[in-house]
Amino acid sequence: MAAGATLDQARAARQAALDRLAADRGGTLRVNLARTKDGGWALKVNLEAAAPAGTALPEEISGVPVRYEVVGRVRARTARRPF
């Protein structure tokens, strides 16, 4: 996995990730920002279900590393101030 990105890079990549992954997955997902072990930033994508076998999910979007976690049902929350 690539080294973490800057906070500004991760923020900019977040919408690109939402657009790309929602189109690819067709399901509900949530994209958050998360710290990496090197102190940088990554995108953390919460999925309702695992990707079907043979489906490749991107490891990076716009140069920002992406981590995935299957969390079950993803529900919309009320708007709050982003990072």
CATH number of the domain residue 14 falls in: 3.30.300
Residue 75 lies in a domain: no
Q: In one letter, which amino acid is 66?
A: V
Residue 65 lies in a domain: yes
Kindly indicate the confidence band of residue 79, based on its pLDDT and cuts at 50, 70 and 90.
Answer: low
Least confident span in 18-22, 24-28, 38-42, 70-74: 24-28
Residue 35 lies in a domain: yes
Residues 6+ apart with CB under 8 A from 42: 4, 5, 10, 33, 34, 35, 36, 64, 65, 66, 67
Which residues span the domain enclosing 27? 7-70
Domains in the chain: how many in total? Answer: 1
More confident: 66 or 20: 66
What is the pTM for the complete model shown? 0.75
